[in-house]
Amino acid sequence: MSYQKPVLELNTRPQPGPRSPERAEAVTAGEDYGTHLLENQLRVGDFVKIQRAFEPPEPSKITCMSREEFMQTMPEVVGWGSEEDYGKLFDRVDVTRDGFINWDKLNTFMLLSLYEKDEHMKATVVPQWKDLEFLAGKHKDTIQNVVFLRSLSRYLTISKEGLVGFWDENLKLQETFPITSDVMKLKHLWVTSLVSLENVNKVAVALTSKEICFYDLLSSEELSCQYKLQGLKAAPICMHYWYDPGDANTSVLSFGDVTGKVQAIVFTAASISLFESPGNVCEDEEATVIINWAELLSGNHKCCHVLQHKLHRGDWVRQVMYSASLEAIISSTTSNASTVVLAWREKPKKVLKMTSFNIDQGIHAFDYHSRLNLIATAGINNKVCLWNPYVVSKPAGVLWGHSASIIAVQFFVERKQLFSFSQDKVLRLWDVQHQLSIQRIACAFPQIQDFQCLFHFDEARGRLFISCNNQLALLAMQSEISRRVRSHEKAVTCVLYSSLLRQVISSDAGSTVSFWMIDTGQKIKQFTSCHGNAEISSMALDANETRLLTGSTDGTIKVWDFSGFCHHTLIVGQDGAVEILQILVLKKTILVTGWQRAITVFRPQNFKQFFIQPEVWKGGVQHQDDILCAAFSPPQILATGSYDGEIVLWNNSTENAHHVLHPKYQTLVKSQPDSKPQRCLSAGNSCSIRLQADQACRGPWSIQVDTEGNHAVTRLCFLEARKNIAATGGSNLVSCGGSGYVRFWDTFKKQLQAEFVAHNGVGPIIMCTDKLNRYLTTGDLDGRLKIWNIEEYCLNSSERRIAEAPPLLRSFQPHEDRISSLAMCEVGGCVLVLSSSADGSVCVTGICDTPVCIFGQAKHWNIENYLFLPERDTDLEEGDVQKKEVRAIPVFSKEKSCLEPKEHSPLSKEITDDSTYQLRPCEDINLVMNYKERNSYMKITQELSSGEAVQQAPSVFRLLHVGSLRELPVVCKPAFLLDPEQYFRAEAPDDHPPSPELPALSEILKSVFDEKNLFPKDILDRERKAKQLCQETSCEMKIRRNKKQL
């Protein structure tokens, strides 16, 4: 849940008693709701021990313990806690004072305690909101209703003039059309209300023409009117619909009119038909069936009947609701007499029993909470009253705080909180249990004296809709991670690891880049507003890891050094902003892919100005759909994946495509001499040059459009560690994407060798591998990670496509939202997994069951405590053990990096001497660490070279023959070395006085030397200022940390 503690604190290691520092810190820093109680300090392992203590010797018997037995046994079984604490726990469990308890009794008590604690935490959590956003619509009159259509996964809005708007789940307006095609009729009627009939996929619309129209959402037309209820005595102005989730046939449509009458239609066969069709109806399925209200009242329709009352005595019914838990119809008016009326159903008699509340000055609206059994009323007298439905004399509570008339109330059901909105456009959130206002928000609406307001809270999606006449505003809840550590304030979009700096680099949707130490999790520095307010969608490092490239949704890529200076800006979208999905930095080119069908190329050797325009990609457009990702394998293989599932293989040197891979087909790309090369990505335009012969050779599968993205390729990765794959066969390319599939390809034989579902039913996934291609990490939209062992997977060619998945090493959920980026790195000889998520966190963990650490948490970690070298397998033979020991030693990866020169990066050719010496404190620490590691490496290499454990050196020079060195020829020494006195001796003059002897040190030493006498003053002043600055910085950090905790 969103209010749990950080994952790091959920440690599974053995813990001491409740007086340990770790437990005390958890209590003071986190929850204070009953943390002093023993049951809130017990862990899962402790409950397992207690359960074993209650296990009976025979299955048919039940073990019970008295208070004395429980006090004596539990401290020994659990291993911590005093007898007094367990005695108090016994007293809380033994509510009935039986003098004994068993495991069932203790288990029931714990479940009830956790439920109470959970409810308390929900009620006290204050939601955080994003900025108020006005939605761009086409309504010209007052918006009457906003509903969410589950069957279509879309929002529907309707305004008074009869204009219907359909919005997608991201609240982008898709289409609008009038409720009826009769223009003359629209001029003479208003829409008063709309409700969704979810169980039958219909909507009901109330009109001032004294009609209720029922529209079918699944019809071939835009909105087909299936039923029209006519003959009402007055115009209905409010409606409510309820259906039984367990029985789709049972439903109730209630509505109130301008004469104070409340009426309800009770449907008994709704899933079959709402009304019975007249005998003279035509056979046209699209024709509207006219239903007469008098026929309903007379009982001619066997599938429904009518309930009604007139207790409001002529006052307009402002709101109506049917409550299944009360089995009553609740209605309200603005009158002070019979303000709220409850019409209780008596099912056998089909009559209503009436009770009413009289509220001074009347109310505008109400809401009912079934679990709390409370009715909240929005009073015209600036008060929110809470009523018990069975007590009409006085309210159970009154909420004070508004300074204007309250026009809307709605319960936050899950948290048992209450929203209220007043005439002065002030929104308040109330804690119902304590009857206190816990949040106040002033909405920035236009200053209009006379306005009509719509208030609707979509609890399932955390969206609050507020309308002011024809303007619709959205107040969206932020992701509920208030008790979870956040690495960024906004959603994290990308994560990288710099082996040169030993730092993790992350970016977010707020155009911020942060640098973290991998060893401790401490933030080193942060770049803000890198692309203004635009989201950073991708990042990359150059070959030397001295330049950082950030791509943004504004259509630009910026080249940064690590001091925060921007050297170049690459213009990707010439016609406007484009979405940059990946930046691929190669030896001589920078390739950019976005939500388009073309590849954009930049050549760093031509970076002579600040703003850089893209150059020509010679291969033109070869994809039929938008490119989502790319990967490169030296020396010249380039692969690009698109939304339709195609993987195009290119020759990076000639920039020409030669093969197309797809799960359903593999084809050869024909040469296109007449096609012109395409330039960069353009906003809103996709290049579509394609030979028809090329499309025809791809077969019928290429014609089918994958609108759902089931084959979409979101990530590509070459398995470069598999060197001899061309000769032995096997897979050297991995792809993943839509429907959770992971596929292994052989690019030499151009065939798909294996595919399996890594994540089932969660949509598209992403992935990454380590440098040695031993592990594959996949992440999904739910925040779940899976780590697979692919070291022995698809190594040999096979005629049969493999459907079995590789061994799954670990499956866990470190994030609460979509995983946006993955990376794997090697630290201390162990492989680590870095993940970023839309929940604002960046996590690091190991391959095995190691704890998950979150960058940004208050308590820093030591990465060495979480890394463990691979254990030896005693079942292996001696030779295998020796080879495995060599592979487990981390120094070989460092040896390889020292021996092999780094690839030259064109982006770093302009580095000056000033930028070379801009060291930060984290780099000073790494210098000492590297020095120690170098010494330990020298010792280990000497030991290995003296023995015979190393059979093959794991470097690229292992095939070179190293023989004995040739003997050097004899070199004759020059004459000035054989007789130096002849060349360099000089005779001293006779009259030169002898040099005086120096006095002894003990004779002239008068005082003890100190550092003031040994070093110059400027060096000492510099050191003193540095110490003073360090002390001031540490004090400021402590003050900031204390303020954050408060």
pLDDT > 80? residue 906: no
- H helices within 66-102, ranges in order? 67-78, 83-93
Coil vs helix vs strand at 45:
helix
Q: Taking each helix axis as running N to C, give the angle between helix 44-53 and helix 67-78, from 0 to 180 degrees, rounded to the nearest 10.
A: 130
User: How big is the chain, counted in residues?
Assistant: 1046
Q: What is the average per-residue pLDDT within 927-948?
A: 38
Burial class (CB in 10 A: 0-12, 13-18, 19+), 752: buried
Residue type at 371 in one-letter notation: R
State percent of the chain over pLDDT 70: 75
Burial class (CB in 10 A: 0-12, 13-18, 19+), 1038: exposed
Q: Between 186 and 355, name the one with better pLDDT.
A: 355
pLDDT > 50? residue 240: yes
Q: What is the Cα–Cα distance from 372 to 432, expressed in whole angstroms?
A: 9
pTM higher than 0.85 for the full model?
no
Q: Taking each helix axis as running N to C, give the angle between helix 103-124 and helix 83-93, from 0 to 180 degrees, rounded to the nearest 10.
A: 90
Q: What is the Cα–Cα distance from 742 to 736, expressed in whole angstroms?
A: 4
Phi, psi (rounded to 5 degrees) for 369: -110, 115
Residue type at 990 in one-letter notation: D
Both ends of the chain: CA-CA distance in Å? 23
pLDDT tens string 362-396: 999 999 999 999 999 999 999 999 999 999 899 99
pLDDT > 80? residue 123: no
Banded model confidence at residue 725, pLDDT cuts 50, 70, 90: confident
Report which listed range, 190-194, 345-349, 578-582, is most confident. 190-194
pLDDT at 778: 96
Tell me which of 448-457, 559-568, 846-855, 964-973 is least confident.
964-973
Q: What is the Cα–Cα distance from 960 to 954, expressed in whole angstroms?
A: 12
Tell me which of 27-41, 59-73, 338-352, 445-459 is least confident.
27-41
Do the bridges between strand 463-468 and strand 453-458 make them parallel or antiparallel, or are there none, so unpaired?
A: antiparallel
Q: What is the Cα–Cα distance from 529 to 749, expressed in whole angstroms?
A: 47
Gyration radius of the chain over CA positions: 38
Query: How is residue 842 written in tokens?
Result: 């960046």
Q: What is the Cα–Cα distance from 530 to 305, expressed in whole angstroms?
A: 65
pLDDT at 124: 61
Q: How many CA atoms lie within 13 A of 564 on its CB side?
A: 12
pLDDT > 80? residue 707: no
Phi, psi (rounded to 5 degrees) for 435: 55, 50
Q: What is the Cα–Cα distance from 515 to 308, expressed in whole angstroms?
A: 67
Cα 582 to the center of its chain, rounded Å: 19
pLDDT tens string 843-875: 999 988 788 899 988 888 888 776 544 443 433
Under DSSP, the state recorded for 595 is S
Query: How is residue 769 written in tokens?
Result: 């591998």
Q: What is the Cα–Cα distance from 394 to 629, expressed in whole angstroms?
A: 65
pLDDT tens string 965-1000: 566 666 677 776 777 777 666 555 555 555 566 666
pLDDT at 933: 43
Q: What is the DSSP string of 422-460?
A: ETTSEEEEEETTTTEEEEEEE------SS--EEEEEETT
Strands (E), 245-388: 247-257, 262-267, 289-292, 304-309, 319-323, 328-332, 340-346, 351-357, 363-369, 374-379, 384-387
Beta-carbon contacts of 178 under 8 Å, excluding residues fewer than 6 positions away, are 162, 163, 164, 186
Q: What is the Cα–Cα distance from 689 to 686, expressed in whole angstroms?
A: 9
Q: What is the Cα–Cα distance from 70 to 86, expressed in whole angstroms?
A: 7
Q: What is the average per-residue pLDDT within 488-509?
A: 93
Coil vs helix vs strand at 397:
strand
Q: What is the Cα–Cα distance from 133 to 981, expressed in whole angstroms?
A: 94
> Could you tell me if 409 and 377 are in contact, meaning their C-beta atoms sit under 8 angstroms apart?
yes
Residue 736, H or E segment: strand 733-737
Long-range contacts of 933-938 (CB under 8 A, 24+ apart): 933/891, 933/894, 936/891, 937/891, 937/894, 937/895
Phi, psi (rounded to 5 degrees) for 856: 110, -5
Q: What is the Cα–Cα distance from 122 to 38, expressed in whole angstroms?
A: 22
Residue type at 449 in one-letter notation: Q
Give me the residues paired with residue 375 across strands. 368, 387
Q: What is the DSSP string of 806-824?
A: PPEEEEE---SS-EEEEEE
pLDDT > 70? residue 547: yes
Under DSSP, the state recorded for 987 is P
Residue 1044, H or E segment: helix 1017-1045
Banded model confidence at residue 673, pLDDT cuts 50, 70, 90: very low
Beta-carbon contacts of 636 under 8 Å, excluding residues fewer than 6 positions away, are 651, 652, 653
pLDDT > 70? residue 312: yes
pLDDT at 691: 35
State percent of the chain over pLDDT 90: 37
Burial class (CB in 10 A: 0-12, 13-18, 19+), 357: buried
Burial class (CB in 10 A: 0-12, 13-18, 19+), 318: buried
The Cβ of residue 622 has, within 10 Å, a number of other Cβ atoms equal to 26
Tell me which of 42-51, 73-82, 274-283, 580-589 is least confident.
274-283
* Closest to 570 (Cα-Cα) out of 529, 615, 527: 615
Under DSSP, the state recorded for 106 is H
* Closest to 277 (Cα-Cα) out of 236, 241, 228: 228
